[in-house]
Amino acid sequence: MYAFTLERPANVADAAKLAAAGGKVLAGGQTLLASMKLRLSAPEQLVDLGGIKELAGIKKEGNAFVIGAMTRHLDVGSHAEIKAAFPALAWLADHIGDRQVRAMGTIGGSVANNDPAACYPSAVLASGATVVTSKREIAADDFFLGLFTTALEEDELITAIRFPIPKRAAYEKLRQKASNFPLVGVFVTQGDSGVRVAVTGAGNGVFRHKGLEDALTKSFSPEAAAGVKIDSSDLNSDLHASAAYRANLINVLTQRAVKKALG
């Protein structure tokens, strides 16, 4: 590792000041520390959010769950109220990586990082969730801008994510055996704002699929999803899978997710 200094602020305002001065925010470290070890990132100062109490924890506010940025995947996956009211979200958290990753990785780190194959961004986008930051509130539709890119400014921290609880929802993914990251993942919700379908792992970042949303709005059934042709021209092709294979996965996983959501 390169030499770096470590700050452990006690509140969000101090953390934001350190970030504004060039510090790199550290949450669960599951991505950041690995990229430092690989020399892909060499921050001179790390700003550890682990000591900021206000960033951790889960609250129910009306018909929404507000999940603090430093909440670990394990805590979302095992939260009794989330498991009862929004089981798709608990299932997603409970199937990220392995137990060690789930014990350390945080929702804020996952959403801020916006890995094109990460699970949480699909839940945030499909739920029409709100990303609450140290400066403002950002609608999911405006937050994810592409490959590892979000609407966050350099000195802006995610403090929480507010998830409206949908009427129905499910997440399905095909895992890469080595990492458990999805080769493709599809999160489907049906709620007050209609049907939303978000896809991860297939493109340069998470995206909504209008064709699937339109078909499922007419008929929320696996058969309706099966009838949608998925255009592969903008999808990723790499050593793990071709674009055509990913397109087929989007369709198949959406059918499975709808079936699961219908119980």
Pairing of strands 24-26, 45-48: parallel
Asked whether position 8 contacts ligand FAD by CB under 6 A, the answer is no
Joined together, the tokens standing for residue 178 give: 């080595």
Q: Residue 74 interacts with ligand FAD (CB under 6 A)?
A: no
User: Nearest-CB residue to ligand FAD?
Assistant: 109
d(CA 35, CA 29): 9
Site string for ligand FAD, 202-231 (x = CB under 6 A): ------------------------------
Interface region with ligand FAD, contact rule CB under 6 A, candidates 109-117, 191-199, 205-213, 234-242: 109-117
- Contact in structure between 188 and 173 (CB atoms under 8 Å): no
Going by the DSSP 8-state scheme, the letter that residue 203 receives in this structure is: S
Query: Minimal CA–CA distance to 105: which of 21, 32, 174?
Result: 32
Contacting ligand FAD (CB under 6 A), which of 65, 181, 187, 207?
181
Q: Which residues contact 245 (CB under 8 A, 6 or more apart)?
A: none
Q: According to the binding rule CB under 6 A, does residue 161 interact with ligand FAD?
A: no
Task: Compute the least distance from the CB of residue 25 to ligand FAD, in Å.
Answer: 4
28 binds ligand FAD (CB under 6 A): yes
Is 148 in contact with 114 (CB distance < 8 Å)? yes
Nearer to ligand FAD, 120 or 215 (CB): 120
Strand, coil or helix: what is 28?
Answer: coil
- Which of 32/258 has CB closer to ligand FAD? 32
Residue 101 binds to ligand FAD (criterion: CB under 6 A): yes
Report the half-sphere exposure of 142 (CA within 13 A, side-chain side).
Answer: 8
Q: Which residues bind to ligand FAD, rule: CB under 6 A? A: 24-32, 34, 49, 69, 73, 96-97, 101, 105-106, 108-110, 112-113, 118-120, 152, 157-158, 179-181
